[in-house]
Amino acid sequence: MSSVLKIRFQDGSSTPPIRVVCPGFELREWRASALVQDLFDRHLLSFALNYTELEAVNDESAASSLRKAAQSVYGTQKYQRRGEFGELILHAILRDFYGAQPAVSKIYFKDGPNETVKGFDSVHIVENGDSGEIELWLGEVKFYSSLTAGIRDVTAEIAAHLSANFLRSEFVAVTNKLDSTWAHSARVKELLDENASLDEITESLVVPILLTYDSSTLSSHEAVSDEYLQGLKEEAATAIKSISEKLKIDLRIRVEVILLPLKDKKRLVNLFHQKLQIWKNI
């Protein structure tokens, strides 16, 4: 089953490279409900469960597994400010468009349902099919309605997160949470060995950035058209210019920018909330 999200624009030659994904429209409406349904149908379990739990899901346990996943994601009434929705979207995009596999569910970094997780927002690997080598993808998400605010905050956060002390701390947290039954667990531990130089580790490190925002292009269109695509391209150009000016990091670390323009973030959050409420009570 293909993703509801589609790549509407991409530029691999920009610094950093960028992709714009959007579900488009149906009968003049932005496909918010279809996006939420797709995320829950195809990605909630792999987002919220560890490898052993996911492998154990069968016809008999599917309903209880969905309930557990929903309860893990949604443990508070303060859903308007929660970041898990953005993390779920990034997880889905990395799986669908980059062939990534989750190394650790960020849900497992929490000690309680109301505790937010400090650090990177996703931990995935991408395997090179030719060489068999793996890349560690440590993602950042700003599930915002303002692109300007998202760029401001994510560039500052990445600069802090790519410091030596922070990376070492994050690597320890990741290796401690790896599921030993996962096929790539030993390889990730070897990559992140505490005696390895960060110069070596960062050669295999990729930082995907997901930024959401209420888009003026979407607010003025009701169907996919050349004008709609041109509007998204212009928004992407503005974003890359701002990110390249503000991102003060060693560019040997690969950064991938992903934009998800929204018609109305508040409505999307409410749809997430409604779906979680249903699935919590399955």
pLDDT digits (tens, 9 = 90+) for 69-91: 777 766 644 544 567 899 999 99
List Cα–Cα distances, 90 to 87, 121, 173, 189, 210, in angstroms: 5, 9, 20, 23, 6
Side chain identity at residue 129, one-letter code: G
Which residue carries 């009968």 as its tokens?
27
Residue 43 one-letter amino acid: H
Answer for the pair 145, 110: CB distance below 8 angstroms, yes or no: no
Strands 25-26 and 18-22: unpaired
Q: Is the pTM of this model over 0.85?
A: yes
pLDDT band at 262 (very low <50, low <70, confident <90, very high): very high
Which pair of structure tokens corresponds to residue 235? Answer: 């928004």
Is pLDDT at 150 greater than 80 in this prediction? yes
Q: pLDDT for 153-193, tens place per residue?
A: 999 999 999 999 999 999 999 999 999 999 999 999 999 99
